[in-house]
Amino acid sequence: MTSTPIPLVLAAALASTLALRAAGAAGQGGPPRTGPCVTTGIPSPATTYIYSYTEGGVTSTITRRWLEVSATVSRQQMTNVHPKQGTTSVLTVAAQHVVDDLMVVDQFKSSGNLPGGGAFTSTTVHRPGLVDGPAFRVCQGRHWTIPQTAVLTTTTPGGTASNSISGTGDVIAVNAPMKVPAGTFETVNYREDRQTAYGPITIVTWRAIKEGVNVRWEYTMPKTSAVEVLVSAK
C-alpha cells in the first residue's frame, strides 16, 4: 500500500492508546477520596485477551497481548479483524509516568500492517503528557482534570495530524461487578469527558481489579459510538 489515509491509521492508534490504560503539567486531584481504594493487577504477558468491538453496527474481533506494563512503559500487540476492512496488526509502545495515582502518557509509537498488507509507522507526542485515567491505585470518589494537551501524530506513509485534548475524569465505583462473555469480574469503573479538536468524547471504562485489564469500555463521540467487551482470555 503506497498511500495510507490518515484517518485509518489514526483509528488504529486510537484503539491502541485507549487500550493502554488497561495497564492501567499533570492532572490535578479533585475532592478527597470518598470511598475505598484498590490496587489493580498487571496483565500477564502469557495471556491473550480476545475482545468484541462494535462500532456503527459492525463488530470486529480484537486480540490483545500486553507484553510489558509498568509505571514507565507499556507494550501491547493488537490484531483487529474487521469483517469489511480486513486485518490490522499493530504493536504500540508507550512512554508514560505516574503522578498522584494517575497515568500520564508522554508519547506512543505504533507500527504494523494495515489491510492489504501495507506497513505503517506512527508516532504520537503529547505536550504536556496526556492524563489518561487511574494508573494502578484507584479510589472511589476520585476526581481529576485533564489539562489542555497538544497532540501531534506523524504517520508514514501518510502525513501529520494535530489535535488537542482537555477534560475531566471521575471514579464512579470500585469493587463493581461487571458481567461480560468472558465471565463476571470485580472492576473499577471510571469515566472521562474529553474535549478535542474533533468534538467531545466520553469514555467509560470497567477494569478488572485482579487481572488489570479492561473488560468493558464504551466511548461516545460526535456521530458515532463504540463498545468493546472481553470475550475470552487464554
Parent domain of 135: 6-233
- The answer to whether residue 52 is domain-embedded is yes
In 3D space, the residue among 124, 107, 36, 115 whose CA is nearest the CA of residue 72 turns out to be 107
pLDDT tens-digit map of 152-163: 999 999 899 999
- The answer to whether residue 86 is domain-embedded is yes
Q: Which amino acid is at 58?
A: V
For the domain that residue 159 is a member of, what is the CATH number? 2.40.360
- The answer to whether residue 105 is domain-embedded is yes
- The answer to whether residue 1 is domain-embedded is no
* Overall number of domains in the chain: 1
Contact 82, 115 (CB under 8 A): yes
pLDDT over 50 at 80, yes or no: yes
- The answer to whether residue 88 is domain-embedded is yes
- The answer to whether residue 116 is domain-embedded is yes
Instruction: Say what the pTM is.
Output: 0.88
Dihedral (Cα; 113, 115, 118, 120), 10-degree rounding: -40
Q: What band does 115 get if pLDDT is binned at 50, 70 and 90?
A: confident
pLDDT tens-digit map of 142-181: 999 999 999 999 999 989 999 999 999 999 999 999 999 9
- The answer to whether residue 82 is domain-embedded is yes
